[in-house]
Structure 1
Amino acid sequence: MTFTIRSKIGLAGAVATLMAVAACGSSSSSSSSSGGGSATGQSGGVSGGASSTTIKVAGIGPLAQFGDAAVGAQARFKRFNDTNEVPGVKIDFSEFADDKGDPATATSEVRRLVNAERVFAIVPDMSAVNPGPFLAAQKVLYVGGGYDDSYCTDKPSTSLWGFGIYGCWVPASPQVIPDTYARAYKYLSAKAGTPHPSLVLVSDDSQAGKNVARFQASAAEGAGFTVVDARGNVPTVTSDFTPYVQKWLSANRGKQPDVITCALTTQCLPIYDAVKAAGFRGAFQTPLGPVDLLAKPLAGSYTFAFYNTDTSPGLTQLKADLQAFKSGTAAVGYSNVPAYFAADMFVQALKKVKGKPTREAVQHALATQTWEIPGLVGPTTYPASTVAPTPSCSQFLQAKPDGSGFASLGTYACSTKQYKINPRFTG
């Protein structure tokens, strides 16, 4: 397992998660084309006459981590085209460019897509290193996971050109943190039998890791936990967690905490083994999500998903769209699912535009929309979500004790609460 791109804030344990877990098990397929006709040579990736319009889009991200992303986006675009969702408008998905997780490569590839391929928009944008300022200057839309701070502003704004499916996930200096611990608090406080269960938050010793500790601790305490320790002090490269385990297990006034939250990525697996071996009896939580290949090594631990994993019409439609595009394709929560969501967000904005779509018209639709797939994901409300996910929606789950999969511990739900960064936490 490898970890190539690090999240800037803990609300995203999820962001780091997507990158890390993807490296564990995603395919590294080549860039994919829709075969839906070219729009090259046309200004802004739009071709066609008054009654026929083709919009050219492309995706970008680290292919080794998100090899299935192109499939997710194309599955949604195929339904758009096949069912004539916007009469006279077709979406031509040209490729998924590989940025290799490298800022220089991302800049080069984005410039090629904009200047040579003349794309209308970048969908899905799965990059954490894409040149957001360049895209904004060129007035090129990008819709994706929201893995860099170009999706963020200090105050709600309708001027951005980048839109994340969950809103601003990784602001450089957040003013508030969303209520990401609400579902965990509800379940774990009942399990611990106390209204304020004690919590230790574990992160690494990079500056990003220290920020993770600060921000997540603020969210956890806001939700109702008593945070007894929240530090970014674990070396980014280590296999020996012994010096830290006893400190974690005595952080609650000499006693074990009720909860240990690991805000790292694949390091959470050996940390889980280490605290169990030392006799930890409380709840262990990770940001790694319901990934089947992790169910056994993390058996008994807790995690969360940012969409509803229970059966719903929206999930049924997603799975059907994936099958219609490529038979045998399973929904992969860290790759083709967020790419599908990005494509759907773009489609819903297109459907709000009157007349022939322009970049400016679609940007306005994105900047003022409330996006959701009812019962599956969202709502994500813009422009409020340029500051922080508004509302914050998730589902709390447990890796089954026998390691056979994940069980939902409550319904998918949302919270509009936000908390200020607590100065008590220094990381």
Structure 2
Amino acid sequence: MTTVTLVGTLLLGSAACSRDTAADAGNDVQAKDSAQATQCPAGMTPKKATGSPIEIGNISSLTGPGTFPESSKAAKAVFDRLNTCGGVGGRPVNFTVEDDQGDPAVAAQAARRLVEQQKVVLNVGSASLLDCAVNASYYAKQKIDSIQGTGVDPVCFNSPNISPVNTGPFTGVTVSLYYASEVLKKQSICRVRLFDVPGFVSAFDDAVTRWEKITGKKLTYAGEIGKSTDDVTPLLLQAKKAGCDAVVIDGVEANGLAVGKAVKANGLTDITWIGLTSYYTANVGKQLGAAGDGLRANSEFEPFSNTESSALSDWRGLMQKNDIPLTSFAEGGYLAATIAQDALVKMDGEVNRKAVTAQLAKLTAYNTPLIGSPYSFGNADRHAPNQSSKFVVLKNGTWTVATKNWVTLPDGS
């Protein structure tokens, strides 16, 4: 079985859960909030774009067992608004979304349709389990870039032509360990790996090694699941026996539910448990309720459930206007499209693939309050610009912000 197939098999359950609860997450927040989106991007005024279209693509998982429609919908909302405000030098963006159906062959075909038939100048806001692993080499050969809305597998963060806006699971582990040791000041730091995808294992190991180099510290305990379907309880009990003060634990949304229940059932609430972004869903909060109090999670963006954050005002308003659930996937798509929009409107002359690629090569520091590190594309061999996170904690079934300030890994680490 290929790594791509394994990734899809493992994560589809999480994707399906996230999608099933996305509307609930969005509606819960929307009911409490009346944010208003700006009418036009800064410096622009209402004016319908009528010139020849600029073709932009997106490959996302829209059908199949696991779906991520919020990212592409959010990106489309950004471009639709741009088109009512003059577009790019009078030219509208024609945004084409391809559904990879969670199938590697379909993902490869989709990339070729966009690049060779649609003649897209750029891909924006893609949210797929397969796009990076399947198409990264093809993108490099075709010299086309992708501002990824959701980077999942290691290839997303190790390609010259792909730059994700999210922190990702691997940097997510490093920054979560850093949060435990350097912010919470926990002494005995531990790590439990629940992902059993071969292509992920070495990347997660490297994430731990990176934390060790940054801090000069070592893990007190490291445990790993045998199979993704195994009971997590023995690993949690081993962490307790090892004397762990804080445990960084990964896995999919279902693992978050299992961890929260096992922590409560086995009296392990004296340990600080920190999950990855996959734990940060309305469903986890709803299912655990007060039993999950104290469970923490990494929010790769400004926490979407924070209705008091002014940084989310335009995003929240634009999502509400377009009936898009408020989720981290929607944040990723919105941010990716906003970055692309701002890069395109600054261009002089012809807007074609070569020119857009050259424009992104100059993008070395894009600052936005939605993430804690400047976004960049540039011309490096690999891109993992988002080196920051905020953290959320469960209280009575509701995710609340645990860190007012961003937790950012040291430069050069």
Shared fold, TM over 0.5:
yes
Match of 1:100 in 2: 101
Q: Does 1:286 align with 2:283?
A: no
Residue deviations 1:258-292, cap 9 Å, x none? Answer: 01221212223213322432221211111125322
Superposition pairs of residues 244-323 of structure 1, within 5 angstroms: 244-251=235-242, 256-265=243-252, 266-280=254-268, 281-287=270-276, 288-296=278-286, 297=288, 298-309=292-303, 310=306, 311-323=308-320
Q: 1:184 to 1:370 in 2, by over 3 A?
A: farther
Deviation at 1:376, TM superposition (A): 1.9
What is the DSSP-based 3-state SS (H/G/I as helix, E as strand, rest coil) of the residue aligned with 1:370? coil
- The 5 A counterparts of 1:127-142 are 127-130=128-131, 131-142=135-146
Quick one: distance in 1 between partners of 2:297 and 2:95?
A: 34
After TM superposition, give the deviation of residue 315 of structure 1 in Å: 1.2
Name the structure where strand makes up a greater proportion of residues: 1
Q: Which amino acid aligns with 1:332?
A: T
Correspondence 1:403 to 2:407: no
CA distance in 2, matches of 1:241, 1:201: 9
What pairs up with 1:152-231 in 2 under 5 angstroms?
152-153=157-158, 160-166=160-166, 169=168, 179=175, 181-189=177-185, 192=186, 196-208=187-199, 210-211=201-202, 213-222=204-213, 224=215, 226-231=218-223
TM-score, length-scaled by structure 1: 0.73
The code of the aligned residue for 2:312 comes to L
What is the SS of the residue equivalent to 1:111?
helix
Report the secondary structure of 2:247's partner residue. strand
Report the Cα offset of residue 25 of structure 1.
2.6
TM-score (norm. length: structure 2) = 0.76
- Give the letter for the 1:197 counterpart: S
1:55 aligns with 2:51: no
Indicate if the aligned counterparts of 1:55 and 1:91 stay in contact, CA closer than 8 A: yes
Residues 269, 418 of structure 1: alpha-carbon distance in 2 compared, 3 angstrom cutoff: farther
Give the Cα separation in 2 of the matches to 1:213 and 1:362: 33
Which 5+ residue runs of structure 1 have no aligned equivalent? 8-14, 28-50, 155-159, 420-427
Match of 2:152 in 1: 147
Give 1:146's aligned amino acid.
Answer: G
Q: Which of the pair is proportionally richer in helix?
A: 2
Q: Residue 338 in 1 paired to residue 337 in 2?
A: no
Partner of 1:47: none
> SS at the partner of 1:227?
coil
Taking the aligned partners of 1:212 and 1:277, their CA distance within structure 2 comes to 32
Match of 1:116 in 2: 117
Contact 1:268–1:286 (Cα < 8 Å) also in 2? yes
Share of identical aligned residues, percent?
A: 20
User: Could you tell me whether the CA contact under 8 Å between 1:188 and 1:197 is conserved in 2?
Assistant: no
Partner secondary structure for residue 135 of structure 1:
helix
Deviations 1:109-131 (A, max 9, x none): 22222333333332222223221
Q: Rate the CA distance shift 1:414–1:85 in 2: closer, same or farther, 3 A.
A: farther
- How far apart in 1 are the matches of 2:18 and 2:391? 21
Number of paired residues? 361
C-alpha separation in 2, matches of 1:24 and 1:97: 21
Mapped partners of 2:361, 2:410: distance in 1:
19
2:89 to 74, 87, 90: 87
The structure-2 alpha-carbon separation of the partners of 1:272 and 1:294, relative to structure 1 and needing over 3 Å to count, comes to: closer
Question: Distance between the aligned counterparts of 1:109 and 1:74, measured in 2?
Answer: 18
> Structure 1 residues 341 and 387, CA, compared in 2 at 3 Å: closer, same or farther?
same
User: For the aligned residues, what is the CA RMSD?
Assistant: 3.3
Output the CA distance in 2 between the equivalents of 1:226 and 1:359.
46
Displacement of 1:18 in angstroms is 7.7
**8 Å CA contact 1:304, 1:395 repeated in 2:** yes
Counterpart-to-counterpart distance in 1, 2:82 and 2:6: 32
Unaligned runs of 5+ in 2: 24-49
Indicate how the Cα distance of structure 1 residues 321 and 408 shifts in structure 2: closer, same or farther if over 3 A, else same: same
TM-superposition CA deviations, 1:366-422 (whole Å, max 9, x none): 22313545322241234387545346121122111x113323333234334454xxx
